């Protein structure tokens, strides 16, 4: 079998297809176990440190509950709680925390900071979102897609909106599991070239395709999944007005949903801005699976924690 003990979860591009399926399979086992009321506590006596430099509802609560349900303890470390905030280096922080904790989950701005933390830590480091990527979200997304469609390879996901951390991680995740992905963004806001290049390498291996376009219609046509995310991410608050204008033709509304397959599912990592990237009608409508998607953060993260710790 595949042994993931000690592994960092920094981007989905770093994981193999087999490792991603291992996480999804474990998620399925743990979710069904929990639904039957069975107790499974493999992390007794283990502690996860959770460093948050940005806000969070889902990631914070689901990781903390995940640790509790698995028999371990989760320590919430706010922006101001660590000496990192007063200039202690990432390298020193990593080595000190490694003496107390069994794993670290971190949400921050710079992706390189997470890479550096992992480099110096002796314990697994899990990326809970950076400006560049959000792998834990996409693992939950892939599991949710599997629940609805009973397969992954061969499906088409259309992402409409900002070429941000979600777009990047979806590019990595979809191509690893053989799903076609089309991204529709205004030219200025398309995913960075180096991300697209890495995703295309994986697409070649799994026989899937990557399309980057400024046409919503082209992306959404024949889609099995429509995905969107906010137009201004955390840290981009001062670009809000400019972005509102730039993305106005990239809203997931009923007209866009009608361009996809009849049984399309609509996804959003949340939090959502109704009336901006998605309409109230669509997010509350029959195609939306956003709350199952949010629930699955808990189950996929239990799988990640149980596998790497």
Does 301 sit near ligand NVA (CB under 6 A)?
Answer: no
Distance from C-alpha of 57 to C-alpha of 166, rounded to nearest angstrom: 16
Least distance CB 35 / ligand CP (angstroms)? 22
| Nearest Cα residue to 159 out of 225, 78, 68, 88 | 225
Least distance CB 164 / ligand NVA (angstroms)? 5
| Nearest Cα residue to 301 out of 151, 101, 107, 167 | 107
In degrees to the nearest 10, what's the CA dihedral of 53, 56, 59, 61?
A: 110
Query: Cα–Cα distances in Å, from 161 out to 16, 174, 244, 252, 297?
Result: 27, 17, 11, 9, 22
Active site residue 229: yes
Q: Give the footprint of ligand NVA on residues 1-20 (CB under 6 A).
A: none
Catalytic residue (choose from 134, 243, 268, 299) = 134
Strand partners, 267: 227
Query: Has 57 been labeled as part of a binding site?
Result: yes
Does 127 sit near ligand NVA (CB under 6 A)?
Answer: no
Does 56 sit near ligand CP (CB under 6 A)?
Answer: yes
Q: Which does 229 bind (CB under 5 to 8 A by kind): ligand CP, ligand NVA, none?
A: ligand NVA
Query: Backbone phi, then psi, for 48, in 5-degree steps?
Result: -105, 125
Longest dimension (CA), the chain: 54
Active site residue 86: no
Does 269 sit near ligand CP (CB under 6 A)?
Answer: yes
Active site residue 273: no
Does 60 sit near ligand NVA (CB under 6 A)?
Answer: no
Catalytic residue (choose from 13, 53, 107, 287) = 107
Query: Has 191 been labeled as part of a binding site?
Result: no
Query: Residue 24, Cβ neighbours under 10 Å: how many?
Result: 20
Active site residue 174: no
Does 85 sit near ligand CP (CB under 6 A)?
Answer: no
Which residue, 260 or 298, is less far from ligand CP as judged by CB? 298
SS3 content of the chain, % helix, strand, coil (to 5): 50, 15, 35
Q: For residues 13 and 198, is the Cβ–Cβ distance under 8 A?
A: yes
Does 166 sit near ligand NVA (CB under 6 A)?
Answer: yes
How would DSSP label each residue in 148-179?
Answer: HHS--TT-EEEEES--SHHHHHHHHHHHHTT-
Does 57 sit near ligand CP (CB under 6 A)?
Answer: yes
Which residue, 27 or 164, is less far from ligand NVA as judged by CB? 164
Interface mask toward ligand CP for 119-138; x: CB under 6 A: ----------x-------x-
Catalytic residue positions, numbered: 107, 134, 137, 229, 269, 297
Residues annotated in a binding site for L-ornithine? 165, 229, 233-234
- Binding-site ranges for ligand CP (CB under 6 A): 56-59, 129, 137, 269-270
């Amino acid at each position: 079998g595949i042994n993931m003990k000690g592994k960092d979860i920094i981007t989905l591009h770093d994981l193999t297809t087999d490792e991603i399926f291992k996480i999804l399979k474990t998620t399925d086992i743990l979710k069904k176990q929990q639904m039957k009321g069975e107790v499974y506590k493999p992390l007794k006596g283990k502690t996860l440190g959770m460093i948050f430099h940005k806000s969070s509802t889902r990631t914070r609560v689901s990781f903390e509950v995940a640790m509790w349900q698995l028999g371990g303890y989760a320590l919430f470390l706010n922006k101001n709680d660590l000496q990192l905030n007063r200039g202690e280096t990432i390298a020193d922080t990593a080595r000190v925390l490694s003496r107390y904790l069994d794993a670290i989950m971190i949400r921050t701005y710079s992706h390189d900071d997470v890479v550096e933390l992992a480099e110096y830590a002796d314990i697994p480091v899990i990326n809970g979102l950076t400006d560049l990527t959000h792998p834990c979200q996409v693992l939950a997304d892939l599991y949710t897609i599997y629940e609805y469609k009973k397969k992954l390879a061969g499906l088409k996901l259309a992402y409409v909106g900002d070429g941000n951390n979600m777009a990047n991680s979806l590019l990595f995740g979809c191509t690893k599991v053989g799903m076609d992905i089309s991204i529709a963004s205004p030219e200025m806001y398309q995913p960075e070239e180096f991300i697209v290049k890495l995703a295309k390498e994986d697409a070649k291996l799994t026989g899937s395709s990557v399309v980057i376009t400024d046409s919503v219609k082209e992306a959404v046509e024949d889609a099995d999944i429509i995905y969107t995310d906010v137009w201004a991410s955390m840290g981009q608050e001062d670009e809000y007005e400019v972005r509102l204008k730039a993305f106005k033709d990239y809203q997931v509304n009923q007209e866009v949903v009608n361009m996809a397959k009849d049984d399309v599912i609509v996804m959003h990592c949340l939090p959502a801005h109704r009336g901006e990237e998605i309409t109230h009608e669509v997010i509350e409508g029959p195609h939306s699976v956003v709350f199952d998607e949010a629930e699955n953060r808990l189950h996929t993260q239990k799988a990640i924690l149980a596998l790497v710790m």
